[in-house]
Amino acid sequence: MATWTPDPTFYPSPRMAMQAPVETLAYVASFDPTRRLPDAITVVDVAPGSPTFSQVVGTVAMPNTGDELHHFGWNACSACLCPNAPHPHSERRYLVVPGLRSSRIHILDVKDDPRQPKIVRVLEPKEVAERSNYTRPHTIHCGPEGIYVAALANAQGEAPGGVFLMDHETFDIRGQWEIDRGPQRLAYDVWWHLGHDTMVTSEWGLPASFENGLVPEILLGGQYGHKLHFWDLHTRKHQQEIDFGAENQLVFELRPAHDPTKAYGFVNSVISLKDLSASIWTWYREGDSWAVRKVIEIPAEPADPALLPDMLKGFGAVPPLVTDIDLSMDDRFLYVSCWGTGDLRQYDVSDPFAPKLTGTVRIGGIASRATHPKAQNGKLNGGPQMVEISRDGKRVYFTNSLYGVIDEQFYPEGIDGWMVKLDANAEGGIAFDPDFFIEWPKTHRPHQIRLEGGDCSSDSYCYP
């Protein structure tokens, strides 16, 4: 429903968004890896001083089982203030929550009781496939033409994956976004540079290559995604493809600069076939086209093969497995999750071509099993994975599960879920909040986190 004045959580610029009030709630996607119980959106109290701080205060169970909740997002955000396509009187009120495995999409209303959102609409897999011609919905972004959904496969579960649009008020599926997809076949993440009318998409793989776990032959054959695609955001045509080379596998999370005048962003490649390292690349505008440069390389760490899962025994090393990255609102700090080694790193990327490591914490990890001050049982498994930053950049939250069947390939005993929080220093440096360690309910594992009112990977802005 429309309002008389803009939603107070919409900010014209990232600079203004940094002045937003401190978030009090976090929404976390939570799934049952055995697919016996319904997945859920879990609500966590993150309000400093609250009697239930760092506790789960609400759970919204999905109506089915086996959805595999993964990523999700808001129906509307600061992009609604854009001058060329204004929708300023929409409300940031609904969470759009897809099941990556089921291709079902749930709409949750958080307005009346933010701690116990209500499911107000469920788009069944058949409807999603028929209307959009896509399945395996993944990334959700609110943008100039409504809700953009990146999906990993077409209606038949094959290539091409792509992007479709949903109405941000009725949640009807409006159809495929692309008008000319050029050579693009694989999909994963989607985001954009609103100031440069450019959309960027990245690549994972097709469902057959991940729904039963990563396939070693496909990985070692360099057949997972290794390209970036650049599109004209308004003509919806493919403009450019950049190939990172087959040795840089799994090109995942897209973090364009929040400042819309800046034409650069960061993306991670999870693993290099050459030496098991992980890398971060900066894409940037060069003349009339886009270019990339590798700016961070994190090497694998030698380890006792006895501590390693079968997949890694032969290598005698732990790959860092950079599976998520996130950029602070002032475009200054990049947070890097090393799900393999257990590092969560903070880099100063003021110069996007010369990142400086400014902080590291370690928790979990395939070989290290590092603990947390508040953890009860010492050795933690899983590692830093989905990471989210508060708008003011002072608090960083993350969880430890990657994807149900892939978790067991690297942590064979399974993952005991946890969520932690870091406090970040304004000038660099991070430390655990010793009071914030949430042991996840044993039946479920936590994945993406969304913060009340917006966070550093939810909103995009049209004004510098």
Partner 1 sequence: MADEGAWPWLTFAGLGLFHGLNPAMGWLFAVALGLHRGSRRAVLLALPPMAAGHALSIWLVAASVLAMGAVVDGAAVRLAAGVLLVLWAGYYWRYGHRHRVRVGMTAGMAGLAVWSFLMATGHGAGLMLLPALVPLCTGRVAEGRESLLIPLAAVGLHTAALLATTGLVALAVYEWVGLTVLRRGWINFDRLWTGALALTGLLMIITA
Site of interaction with partner 1 (CB under 8 A): 2-6, 8, 10-13, 16, 81-90, 144-146, 167-169, 174, 194-197, 233-235, 260-261, 462-464
Minimal distance in Å, beta carbon 173 to partner 1?
13
Cβ-based nearer residue to partner 1, 84 or 377: 84
Which residues have CB under 8 Å from 292's CB, separation 6+?
228, 242, 244, 267, 281, 282, 283, 284
Nearest distance in Å: CB 174, partner 1: 8
**Measured distance CA(70)–CA(138) in Å, rounded:** 7
Looking at the Cβ atoms of 194 and 438, the one nearer to partner 1 is 194
CB nearer to partner 1: pick between 174 and 374? 174
Report the residue number, 80 or 419, with the smaller CB distance to partner 1: 80
Beta carbon of residue 54, minimum distance to partner 1 (angstroms, whole number): 31
Do 71 and 448 contact (CB within 8 A), yes or no?
yes
What is the rounded distance in angstroms from the CA atom of residue 171 to the CA atom of residue 96?
Answer: 9
Go through the chain and tell me how many residues it has: 464
The dihedrals phi and psi of 461, each to the nearest 5 degrees, come to -130, 145
Q: Cα dihedral sign for 397, 402, 403, 408?
A: negative
Please, what is the minimum distance in Å from the beta carbon of residue 180 to partner 1? Answer: 15
Beta carbons within 8 Å of 126's beta carbon, 6+ residues apart: none
- Residue closer to partner 1, measured from CB, 86 or 114: 86
For residue 89, the minimal CB distance to partner 1 (Å) is: 5
Nearest-angstrom CA–CA distance, 291 and 283: 6
* Least separation in angstroms between CB 392 and partner 1: 17
**If we measure between CA atoms, which residue out of 109, 149, 145 comes closest to residue 128?**
149
Q: Minimal distance in Å, beta carbon 104 to partner 1?
A: 24
Distance CA 131, CA 136 (A): 14
**Which is closer to partner 1, CB of 85 or CB of 375?**
85
Closest distance of CB 449 from partner 1, Å: 26
Nearer to partner 1 by Cβ, of 6 and 355: the residue is 6
Q: Which of 306, 374, 383, 308 is nearest to 344 (CA)?
A: 383
Q: Quick one: 11 or 224, whose CB is closer to partner 1?
A: 11
Task: For residues 302 and 273, give the distance between their C-alpha atoms in angstroms, rounded to a whole number.
Answer: 16
* Angstrom distance (rounded) from CA 166 to CA 134: 12
| Burial (CB count within 10 angstroms: exposed 0-12, middle 13-18, buried 19+), residue 354 | exposed
